[in-house]
A and B are shown apart, each in its own frame.
Chain A
């Protein structure tokens, strides 16, 4: 019902395409200082930053979060603040909300100075922090009442406003439920609703869509579009998902505290126009990708289903070398995406990183035998089924994905497969060993990389390697050989004496992977390995994973990034502890993508599955 009242996304999109101030710009070249829009006296800019600098003192070291940031956010539209983790997005949001004071520069929010008049700003804006502070032991209704009181909403208008907001968020009928008992997506929507109890003039949303299932994510976007359309609200929304850039009217691209650009998303993409291709060839997809990424004319090669998406260095026809000759290679030009520009731009900026290829000392056997067999796996916590009758099989040398939102049961499944959590019922075996009877024996044959950095931060890289090699039972020459191998393969040699907590994020991840691989496991478990990592580091990491799989290591990976599902050979889509579907990426997109069929994205497939599930439950 709620969906019917709201304008479809497409309406909001058409509005963005109406001729605007930027249409006269030539979009291909990098324009001089981008996106300083002319002031419009009738509709002043809700947010102006000028030369903003912010540093934090961490362990007596000065850390620059934002450095000379200037930009002007335009009214009545969605501006996306886009950048990887650590770019300074949250700091910028908090500065705008008057929660932090800048070291230098001026921030004007709705005409007020953020340093001198934070209260005046806070009375007029809505701000939703990354982890919105819902009171989990209060009901939905009581949370709304609290924020209505705090924002001074008159009692008379409340029932109508509540009804409207809850309908918009699809939260009707849960008013008396405790906020702590809502699903992740519902909590996020309730958080948004709480900041909207009194309609703000400017809405600041800090990563509202992180880890939220695609349906709730779509709902959140629908609400944001509605606010812009119906109430003329100005919205600044930060996100680490590059594919969300295309949903914004304008994008501010933030990287390591600097603004790399401020423009319409399509103008960003247009700068790599003529350089984006889809390559198909009679090769396994990982071999094809490896061949293409070695080509000097190629900036970026990314697996997309069975094909590989390529960004070339120069516009003009792509003639890849190192591929089988003849008609078998099919190269089609495709529309550029925001991410293409982002990656191309960053790769220009940074020294070319050589994709590390991991060579294991001992190569596991090839062949299609089953390595992991999971049957009706169940894990209960009280009367809550975290994992509910999950079954799947993984063959040797496969990359197998578990795709789902936060709370779908991926990590719980993993922990049971690694023998870290007892199984409530069902069976599972890893490398032929039943985990219910011989968890320790199975553990010797698997490597596990946890979601959080779980090595000793105050030990050096070398000490971590030494400790974990002994913990895995390596000794003597084998141990020293494997430590040598880890330092060499992962380029950790120069950091051997560095405390591991001081490593850059990408190197921390290499160390974690090195530790997980030192005892040469047959099966590698990766739990959300790429969350919080920038797109370049993510590509590098996947190149390493691919080379492992090519050597016959079986890889199980969980992710909530839809695009990463494309890199898997096969995957299951999970929600609320259950497996919704299993198959190759292509099969899933075709089978579950609704009317879009083969053209569908993984996200379409996911949404299709969730909605079919909901309808089935509604009918029952």
Chain B
């Protein structure tokens, strides 16, 4: 280390810190945006289908058909609406006031009693394919439940050659919050690491402060460390805030070791900072740097990291593309650490991929950063 290096580094870090504190836009990106994202994803966005608006068309209400309908009344997934004719219900479905229709014809009760296996009509609004499939599943569930109930009442077993015993592991309540919040951490770290860093460096170019910095005898290493350290600390601060919110506000479990979560996050933050630096070596205006960071880091962290959209259901080409997205590896590790535990066979390969990407970006940055204005 060269003489005076620590002094210069301290000066740079202190300057960066003062700027963050005094600049409302840095605070907004580092703290306000994460808060907003967490609140939106914690409370607002849910991939579970709840309160599905289902139309119950019961042409001839009798005890059989009403007991079947009762299954919908008591289910937390459905908010049933009663109709007397299928025409009315179909009209409501067309006007998007319903997500699906269950149709019991006027002969349902009588035929059931005669043991004639009467049909139950199910019409699902397939516009939102995902919800459509969910409704289908839920209705089947209610149907089986009702059959079992009827059999029990009649004092006999429902005859079926096999029986399905299903358990949902790691997230027994199937709460989407529990896997969305770990994913949103990746987005937040990308925001601070890549977007904010690319932005502040571009700002130094725009305002001409970079030229004044370059001409003092700081080295490239000092210049880079002077940016890396403060934003690393800021990013870890954002992470701590998010973890606290995840635990106390959204009650997301952390089944793996907290230390491992922190270590992996530090690794990912280092990669994100590398990406931010890399962008800032290419673009020297704040506007272009911000756009580039959005398109190349922030949006992919949202869409291609597997945090909302399952990677395995993507077309092969896009699947291949996701391997270039650092957030993908981080999301995979975090979801495991939060919901399953310390599964080394997941953590290690993904962490290795992250380390590789980090080395690549920081290597490129170090090679490309020259102390001149060429």
Flag whether B172 is at the interface (Cβ < 8 A).
no
Q: Does A131 contact B (CB under 8 A)?
A: yes
Closest approach, in angstroms, between the C-beta of A126 and any C-beta of chain B?
9
Tell me, rounded to whole Å, the shortest Cβ–Cβ distance linking A112 to chain B. Answer: 12
Smallest CB separation, B248 vs chain A (Å): 34
Known: A100-B374, A152-B7. A135 touches B19 (CB 8 A): yes
Residue among A101, A125, A129, A149 making CB contact with B212, cutoff 8 Å = A129
Whether A137 contacts B18 by the Cβ 8 Å rule is yes
Q: A149 contacts B8, CB within 8 Å?
A: yes
Q: Choose among A97, A131, A138, A151 the residue that contacts B19 (Cβ–Cβ < 8 A).
A: A138
Residues of B within 8 A of A125 (CB): 215
The reply to whether A147 and B18 contact each other, CB–CB distance below 8 Å, is: no
Hey, what's the 0/1 contact readout for B347-374 against A, CB within 8 Å counting as 1?
0000000000000000000000001111
Q: Tell me, yes or no, whether A133 is within 8 Å of chain B by CB.
A: yes
B residues near A123, Cβ cutoff 8 Å: 217
Contacting B at CB under 8 A, from A110-131, are 118-120, 122-123, 125, 127-131
Which residues does chain A contribute within 8 Å of B213, judged by CB atoms? 133, 150
* Chain B, 227-267, CB within 8 A of any chain A CB: none
A150 surroundings in chain B (CB, below 8 A): 8, 11-12, 213, 216-218
Q: Is B14 interfacial (CB-CB < 8 Å)?
A: yes
Q: How far is the CA of A128 from the CA of B211 in the complex (A)?
A: 9
Complexed CA–CA distance, A120 and B219 (Å): 11
CA distance A230 to B219 in the complex (A): 31
Q: Does B214 have its Cβ within 8 Å of any Cβ on chain A?
A: yes
Q: Tell me the bound Cα distance from A221 to B216 in angstroms.
A: 23
Q: Which of A94, A100, A142, A152 contacts B8 (CB 8 A)?
A: A152
In Å, the complex CA distance between A94 and B218 comes to 16
B residues near A137, Cβ cutoff 8 Å: 18-19, 22-23
Does any Cβ of A come within 8 Å of B204's Cβ? yes
Contact call B209/A134, Cβ cutoff below 8 A: yes
Q: How far is the CA of A138 from the CA of B214 in the complex (A)?
A: 19
A145 at the interface (CB under 8 A from B): yes
Instruction: Choose from B10, B18, B209, B211 the contact partner of A149 (Cβ within 8 Å).
Output: B10
A149 x B7 contact (CB < 8 A): yes
B212 touches A151 (CB 8 A): no
Find the A residue at minimum CB distance from B209.
Answer: A133
Q: CB of B210 within 8 A of chain A?
A: yes
How many pairs of residues, A versus B, come closer than 8 Å at their CB atoms?
96
- Contact A145/B372 with A133-B209, A150-B213 known, Cβ cut-off 8 Å: no
CB neighbours (8 Å) of A134 from chain B are: 209, 212
Which A residues are CB-close (under 8 A) to B208?
Answer: 129-133
Please give the distance in Å from A210's CB to the nearest CB on chain B: 13
> What are the interface flags for B145-167 relative to A under an 8 Å C-beta threshold, 1 for contact and 0 otherwise?
00000000000000000000000
In the complex, chain B residues whose CB is within 8 Å of the CB of A127: 212, 215
B22 and A133 contacting across the interface, CB-CB below 8 Å: no
A149 to B, closest residue via Cβ: B11
Chain A residues within an 8 Å CB radius of B216: 122, 147, 150-151
What chain B residues lie within 8 Å of A146 (beta carbons)?
11-12, 14-15
Assess whether B219 is in contact with A119, with CB atoms less than 8 Å apart: yes
Residues of B within 8 A of A (CB-CB), count: 31
Report how far A125 CA is from B216 CA in the complex, Å: 8
Q: Cβ of B373: which chain A residues have Cβ within 8 Å of it?
A: 94, 99-100
**Bound Cα distance A127, B22 (Å):** 27
Q: Tell me if B113 counts as interface (CB < 8 A to partner A).
A: no
Given contacts A100-B372, A122-B216, contact A138 B18 (CB under 8 A): yes
Interface residue ranges of A231-249 to B (CB < 8 Å): none
Task: Specify which chain A residues have a CB less than 8 angstroms from the CB of B204 in the assembled complex.
Answer: 133
Q: How far is the CB of B37 from chain A (nearest CB, A)?
A: 26
Docked CA distance A128–B12 (Å) = 19
Shortest distance between the CB of B196 and any CB in chain A (Å): 15
Query: Is B74 positioned at the interface, with any CB of A under 8 Å from its CB?
Result: no
B374 pairs with A122, CB closer than 8 A: no
A136 interface residue, CB < 8 Å from B? yes
The answer to the question of B207 belonging to the interface, with a C-beta cut-off of 8 Å to chain A, is yes
Q: In the docked arrangement, what's the CA distance between A122 and B214, Å? A: 9
CA–CA, A128 and B216, complex, Å? 10
Contact with A along B188-221 (1 / 0, CB 8 A): 0000000000000000100111111111111100
- Which of chain B's residues has its CB closest to A137's CB? B22
Instruction: Tell which of A101, A129, A133, A191 has the most Cβ of chain B within 10 Å.
Output: A133
* Closest beta carbon of chain A to B227's beta carbon, Å: 14
Bound form: Cα–Cα A195–B213 in Å? 11
* Interface assignment of A401: CB less than 8 Å from any CB of chain B: no
Task: Say yes or no for B4: interface residue by CB 8 A criterion.
Answer: yes
Answer yes or no: A88 CB below 8 A from chain B CBs: no
Question: In the bound complex, what is the Cα–Cα distance between A13 and B319 (angstroms)?
Answer: 75
Q: Which residues of B contact A149 (CB under 8 A)?
A: 7-8, 10-12, 14
Q: What is the bound-complex CA distance between A128 and B212, given in angstroms?
A: 7
Query: Is A577 an interface position by the 8 A CB rule?
Result: no
A-B contact pairs, 24 of them (CB 8 A): A98-B215, A98-B371, A100-B374, A101-B374, A118-B371, A119-B217, A119-B219, A119-B371, A123-B217, A125-B215, A131-B208, A135-B209, A137-B19, A138-B15, A138-B19, A138-B22, A145-B14, A146-B11, A146-B12, A147-B11, A147-B216, A149-B11, A150-B8, A191-B212
Closest 7 CB pairs of A and B: A149-B11, A133-B209, A133-B212, A152-B4, A123-B217, A131-B208, A122-B217
Besides A135-B15, A150-B216, A151-B216, 6 new A-B residue pairs in contact (Cβ under 8 A), listed by A number? A94-B373, A120-B217, A127-B212, A133-B212, A133-B213, A134-B212
Q: Which residues of B contact A (CB under 8 A)?
A: 3-4, 7-8, 10-12, 14-15, 18-19, 22-23, 204, 207-219, 371-374
